[in-house]
Structure 1
Amino acid sequence: MCGIAGLWSPRGYSDNTPKLAEKMADRLYHRGPDGRGFHFDPDHGLAMIHTRLSIIGLNAGDQPIFDKDAGLVLTANGEFYDYKRLRGLLRTDGFEFTTKSDSEIALKLYRKHGFDFVEQLRGEFAFAIFDEKKEQLILVRDRFGIRPLFWHNGPNGFFWGSEMKAMLAHPDVPREVCPKAQLHQMMQVMVPGMTLYKDIQAVLPGHMLIVTRKGDGFEVEQKRYWDAEFPLDGHHDVRSDDEHIEAVREKLVESITFRLEADVPVACYLSGGIDSCSILGMAAAIQQSPVKAFTISFDDDRYDEAHIATEMAEKAGADQDILRVKAEDLYGKNFEDAVMFSERTFYNTLGVAKMLMSKHVRDVGYKVVITGEGSDELFGGYAQFKADLFLHDPDYAATPAAEEMRKRNAIFSGSVLAEETISHPAFEEVMGFTPSWIQPWMLTLERVKPLLSDEFKARLGDYDPIAAIAYSLDKSMLDGRHVLDKVQYSWIKTMLEGQILNWGGDRVDMANSLESRPAFLDHHVAELAMRIPPHVRVRDGVEKWVVREAMKHVLPEVLYKREKFAFMAPPAHTDVKKAAEIDKLIEKWLSSEKIASHGIFDEAKMRASIEEYRKSDDHAQNTRKDIILNHAIALHAMEELI
């Protein structure tokens, strides 16, 4: 796990290039405190940067890695699993290895297979290969976007980095903010590839960029090598329930086994959900020894799952470590740091809590954790997914489960569940319906619009962010699919990468040099899950049914029977201490001076909205106001913090 960055200038080097490369590396120190390496190639105007977090090959994994015979250079972030088997196969083909690093297999596979080499790679990764002979740079991001990677192509060169802050350390990368992106961040959902900055893009998950020098500039080709492809409705795998259950168990065991491999101790994150509990149970069985388990506990019983996590830890014989997060911990400098590391806004302070957890995990001596992200996305775990099943699948429509589910999840009304139904013609066109997962954010947008300044609205023109999100989806991957597959696909392409894996994953974990490994997002597990029939993923209203059955032997009964409960931090309005803390951030970042300098909001309307929020006792409306305030504070803070 590491940080990478670089620049390729058609004009060649300036005298300052090595010094600027050092500055870029400095901004990635948290991603690689164990060492740094550079490759300077003045003849090509190239600088490649690597900061290292040592996990595998502790004394023999320095980068960049060279294949001098082929004229190739690699810098990589992340892990390639099953690398020992691949090294053995490549050796039989005559390839020689100069390091013990798992990353070197990417160079040899590229030599052997050309651009098809990515199909052989398994893991969480973002990397760059420079092909000197072809004068090409290849940037690759893993299938789900677990590891971040950004790029900018401008008149002064091509730049890339694991985080935008590394690129922005170079004066030739412009800082012009995109008003469309600001609007998207205020409503939570980004268009894939979009960032806060107009001229910086994210490499899309499952894609590679092929950058070729053309005279004094660069040609950039974007190539998709993988997508979350669900079968046509009625074409899912035909197996018995027992066969589906055993297949899921087998693939998860394989995935977790790979993710336990490291030259440093590996721990697990443990919440009260079946995903992290399943991973802990399987990890303990595979290791046949106690596993260290880290749990977040909130000071609000309605949101706290620590007691369930403790029951799981006791069943698995794990060494549980509980971090108790208080109201004041979630705001102030911690909030600002989470914004700075995430490089985007967030609707809930869960990301702050996870950043505090990653610091605690490092403080007690761990560098690697296995996590449960991805299970809900692949096995139909979210309440929003079930809501669409109940609405649009005739086999579920007649059940009373939808209303019962809404009552049980009333605490999340105004955040992840919409308090009223809303639709949009673009989603109706692309998907045939407006998915329940985006409706809360559409309602957030409706409450944001009146707060915007006339100047900001003029900059937006007639831009429709909901249509932009809908039309970013590949309709060919949606046509003819079952409703559950449609909603899972649309979420995977937007919220998984933009939210769950960002401020809920890599960015707040690596803020403290902690590598997180989401076992459910192994693409072998994913491809199996996508072929499982919808009624096996969600059975009689029970989400993730096949996972529950596959993990039944390691789960406590209370957890096996428990409905999915969204894991989030208590919103600010639920506690007077939290309200006091967010007021301090409002005073600092939503002052008259800040509002005027950024020009996003109409000050009078924002002030009135804040006063209304302070006086209201409507939980759903206050939850939505909490969301808007979190975003507004972060938007103003971000430009100064990154």
Structure 2
Amino acid sequence: MCGVVGWVDFDRSLAGERANILAMTGTMALRGPDAEGVWVAEHAALGHRRLAVIDLVGGAQPMTADRDGSAAAVITYSGEVYNYQELRTELAGRGHQFRTRSDTEVVLRAYLEWGDAFVERLNGMFAFGLWDIARQRLVLARDRMGVKPLYYYGTPAGVVFGSEPKAVLAHPTVPTEVDADGLRAAMTLVKTPGDSLYRGVRELRPGHLVVVDRAGRHERAYWRLPTREHTDDLDTTVGTVRELLRDIMTRQMVADVPVGTLLSGGLDSSVVTALAAAAPSERGDPVRSFAVDFVGQTENFLPEEMRDTPDGPFARAAAEFVHTDHREVMLDVATMLDPLHQTSAMMAMDGPSPMGDMMTSAYLLFGAVREGSTVALSGESADEVFGGYGWFHDPEAVASPTYPWLAWLHRSTGDANPASDLLEPDLAKLLDLPGYESDTYHAAIAEVEHLPGVDPGERRMREVFYLHLTRWVQVLLDRKDRLSMAHGLEVRVPFCDHRLVEYVYNTPWSMKTYDGKEKSLLRGAAAGLLPESVLQRKKSPYPSTQDPRYGQMLRDQANAILADRNSPVVGLLNVPRIRQLLETPLESSGFGPNRRRVELLISLNDWLRRYPIRLRLDS
């Protein structure tokens, strides 16, 4: 797991541009705290910051591979390929010789053997730039589910790329501009594949690769969610899910550094923790599990619509049952609202977020986990794969002509994006956030493939799953990657294995809910692995503090922003409306619309203050 950058220009020599590639590479230091490397040639320059996980000594990058005695290709690579050992054996049988034990060299050799089709053989989470020295072409590739990020900016004669926008923006020719679509994306809980907040900066879409040569840039999909008939019966389906999970976990436990798990006490993270604890370990140490909680949360917990029980007791029950070395990361309000931590989380994301304390607490959690582990396994994306959220089971949300999670969340705001109320009226009209959400929703729905003659209910649920697996999960995976890698922590997501995703995606909704509960297939596959209290626990989202002091401190921060004539966000705001909002206490729930509005306001102001952004709202 690392940070990658690169620059290709066919109209000029990059031999003297080492300082610029080093500046870009330096922005990725948090992603790769263990080593730095650059490789510079006539028309290509690559940079790399390394987090050493496999082959700690031999895996330095950028890495080259020889063919017929001369350098043939060089790569800057981030991620893990979990089937690299099988690929290595196959490639060795075809005459390839290896200098290291790393999966990076396997990826290089796979390209030399199979050309661009090599990416279809990789099982894992990855993003990389590979320069073919002989053919003078760059290959950019990203894993199927988009677990690892990769951004690029097209230039007249090539491309600039990096793991995060900050690396691309560090290039001297790339402007830090945000247009209307960028602001729209910053204020919604939708991540449209390919888009970024920054004008001209593209995010390589999941399951895609881009080839850059003298003829230009050529992008193609090497994978998309397949649509096929599911013919297995229920027992076979549950058994297949169980065996897939066991195989996935065996592969993802491989590391030359300590491995832990993120354990909330929900079904998803508890299954991952149980399977990790049962998997063979070369180190012999018990798995470390980490849970985040808030001071006083368990003792003073109040049931909410989306969360009816506190996490702590369930996380402890799961850890005790599977015998992990369990650790609790306790956070208080003052720590979460420390401007240093708020800004650090925002800068890790390269932009604002309406997710509020769920961003800052995750940032702090990952920092604490990094003190005890270099790799952590997460239950992220199980809800998207198996149908765990409450809105999957809400007929009104499912039938709504928008993203189901937005239908659910916007009910309390009159079916409108709550961020609209923040904005100066003319700006709110220009951005038209409800219209933006509607337009992107219909574009996403148009991508869905259907089987002929399918029951209308099953047809709609396929659309709902497609939306979650291509739009919503991207929001969560991006949060997970950026905030964890800001501490040099690699977080693996077993439920994003494409074999599992493909299999469950094509399983009928009736089978996914065979016992009348959410995530029936996962619960059935996990039978016997966990205590019944955890196995049967109702879905509970990532935790959010209920401490009333949090709302008061948010109001204080927002009032200070409004009182400062130099606050960059004020010119974008409907100040009278916000002052009115701040006259009353904010909701204790993290899903309260007013609390979300104020958290977004603070985050927007910090972003505009910290980044040299030029707003281009005329385009």
Indicate whether the TM-score tops 0.5: yes
Aligned with 1:374 (options 364, 372, 381) = 381
Aligned with 1:556 (options 531, 535, 548) = 531
Relative distance call for 1:147 and 1:379 in structure 2 (3 A) is: same
> CA separation in 2, counterparts of 1:72 and 1:454?
54
Pairwise CA RMSD: 2.5
Please tell me whether residue 309 in structure 1 is matched to residue 305 in structure 2: no
> CA separation in 1, counterparts of 2:610 and 2:359?
17
Relative distance call for 1:192 and 1:636 in structure 2 (3 A) is: farther
Please tell me whether residue 273 in structure 1 is matched to residue 253 in structure 2: no
1:501 equivalent in structure 2: 477
Q: How does 1:40-119 map to 2 (within 5 A)?
A: 40-41=40-41, 43-44=42-43, 46-69=44-67, 71-119=72-120
With normalisation by structure 2, the TM-score equals: 0.88
Please tell me whether residue 227 in structure 1 is matched to residue 198 in structure 2: no
1:140 equivalent in structure 2: 141
Q: What is the CA distance between 1:351 and its match in structure 2? A: 2.3
Please tell me whether residue 466 in structure 1 is matched to residue 437 in structure 2: yes
CA contact (8 A) 1:456 1:599 kept: no
> CA separation in 1, counterparts of 2:101 and 2:218?
32
Q: What is the CA distance between 1:285 and its match in structure 2? A: 1.5
> CA separation in 2, counterparts of 1:476 and 1:150?
23
Q: What are the Cα deviations for residues 232-266 of structure 1, in whole angstroms up to 9, with x where unaligned?
A: xxx32332x32222111111011111111011121
Structure with more of its chain in helix, by fraction: 1
1:626 equivalent in structure 2: 595
- Greater Cα offset, 259-268 or 69-78: 69-78
Q: What is the CA distance between 1:602 and its match in structure 2? A: 2.7
1:417 equivalent in structure 2: none
> CA separation in 2, counterparts of 1:620 and 1:265?
35
Q: What is the CA distance between 1:390 and its match in structure 2? A: 9.1
Aligned with 1:261 (options 246, 254, 261) = 254
Relative distance call for 1:71 and 1:495 in structure 2 (3 A) is: same
How many correspondences in the alignment?
A: 585
Q: What is the CA distance between 1:269 and its match in structure 2? A: 0.9
AA matched with 2:542: F
CA contact (8 A) 1:212 1:220 kept: yes
CA contact (8 A) 1:229 1:477 kept: no
Q: What is the CA distance between 1:184 and its match in structure 2? A: 2.8
Partner secondary structure for residue 565 of structure 2: helix
AA matched with 1:52: R
2:369 equivalent in structure 1: 361
Q: How does 1:392-411 map to 2 (within 5 A)?
A: none
AA matched with 1:284: A
> CA separation in 2, counterparts of 1:71 and 1:598?
54
Relative distance call for 1:391 and 1:127 in structure 2 (3 A) is: closer
Aligned with 1:578 (options 550, 573, 586) = 550
Q: What is the CA distance between 1:117 and its match in structure 2? A: 1.2
Relative distance call for 1:604 and 1:10 in structure 2 (3 A) is: farther
CA contact (8 A) 1:380 1:484 kept: no
CA contact (8 A) 1:388 1:483 kept: no
1:435 equivalent in structure 2: 404
Aligned with 2:575 (options 599, 603, 628) = 603
> CA separation in 2, counterparts of 1:343 and 1:373?
21
2:337 equivalent in structure 1: 331
Partner secondary structure for residue 100 of structure 2: coil
Relative distance call for 1:243 and 1:622 in structure 2 (3 A) is: closer
Q: What is the CA distance between 1:474 and its match in structure 2? A: 5.8
> CA separation in 2, counterparts of 1:153 and 1:133?
22
> CA separation in 1, counterparts of 2:398 and 2:131?
50
Aligned with 2:499 (options 524, 528, 553) = 524
2:291 equivalent in structure 1: 295
Relative distance call for 1:156 and 1:93 in structure 2 (3 A) is: closer
CA contact (8 A) 2:551 2:595 kept: no
> CA separation in 2, counterparts of 1:479 and 1:243?
23
AA matched with 1:62: A
> CA separation in 1, counterparts of 2:278 and 2:590?
45
Q: What are the Cα deviations for residues 114-165 of structure 1, in whole angstroms up to 9, with x where unaligned?
A: 2221110011110111123333211111111111111111347511100111
> CA separation in 2, counterparts of 1:47 and 1:202?
20
1:36 equivalent in structure 2: 36
Q: What is the CA distance between 1:112 and its match in structure 2? A: 2.3
Q: Which runs of 5+ in 2 are unaligned?
A: 302-306, 452-457, 612-619
CA contact (8 A) 2:420 2:433 kept: no
Partner secondary structure for residue 103 of structure 2: coil
Partner secondary structure for residue 602 of structure 2: helix
Relative distance call for 1:274 and 1:230 in structure 2 (3 A) is: farther
CA contact (8 A) 1:284 1:316 kept: yes
> CA separation in 1, counterparts of 2:560 and 2:94?
62
> CA separation in 2, counterparts of 1:491 and 1:228?
12
> CA separation in 1, counterparts of 2:261 and 2:245?
15
Partner secondary structure for residue 472 of structure 2: helix
Q: What are the Cα deviations for residues 441-494 of structure 1, in whole angstroms up to 9, with x where unaligned?
A: 585744333432255357548993123312442624244563322111111111
Q: What are the Cα deviations for residues 542-566 of structure 1, in whole angstroms up to 9, with x where unaligned?
A: 1111111111111111112211112
Aligned with 2:469 (options 461, 474, 492) = 492
Partner secondary structure for residue 139 of structure 2: strand
Partner secondary structure for residue 196 of structure 2: coil
1:409 equivalent in structure 2: none
CA contact (8 A) 1:349 1:568 kept: no
CA contact (8 A) 1:34 1:52 kept: yes
Relative distance call for 1:323 and 1:467 in structure 2 (3 A) is: same
Relative distance call for 1:17 and 1:587 in structure 2 (3 A) is: farther
Aligned with 2:232 (options 232, 235, 238) = 238
Q: What is the CA distance between 1:321 and its match in structure 2? A: 0.5
Q: What is the CA distance between 1:609 and its match in structure 2? A: 2.9
Relative distance call for 1:306 and 1:458 in structure 2 (3 A) is: closer
AA matched with 1:506: D
CA contact (8 A) 1:388 1:484 kept: no
CA contact (8 A) 1:379 1:538 kept: no
Please tell me whether residue 515 in structure 1 is matched to residue 511 in structure 2: no
Q: What are the Cα deviations for residues 66-122 of structure 1, in whole angstroms up to 9, with x where unaligned?
A: 124363111100001121111110111112223221012222222222222111001
AA matched with 1:500: L
> CA separation in 2, counterparts of 1:457 and 1:390?
25
Relative distance call for 1:596 and 1:73 in structure 2 (3 A) is: closer
Relative distance call for 1:152 and 1:362 in structure 2 (3 A) is: same
Q: Which runs of 5+ in 1 are unaligned?
A: 393-422, 428-433
Aligned with 1:449 (options 400, 420, 423) = 420
AA matched with 2:594: K
With normalisation by structure 1, the TM-score equals: 0.85
2:304 equivalent in structure 1: none
Q: What is the CA distance between 1:16 and its match in structure 2? A: 6.4
Aligned with 1:349 (options 357, 375, 395) = 357
> CA separation in 2, counterparts of 1:16 and 1:581?
50
AA matched with 1:111: L
Relative distance call for 1:8 and 1:275 in structure 2 (3 A) is: same
2:455 equivalent in structure 1: none
1:213 equivalent in structure 2: 214
Partner secondary structure for residue 464 of structure 1: helix
Relative distance call for 1:79 and 1:598 in structure 2 (3 A) is: farther
Partner secondary structure for residue 223 of structure 1: strand
Q: What are the Cα deviations for residues 325-384 of structure 1, in whole angstroms up to 9, with x where unaligned?
A: 1122222221221111022314232221121111112223x1001111121111111111
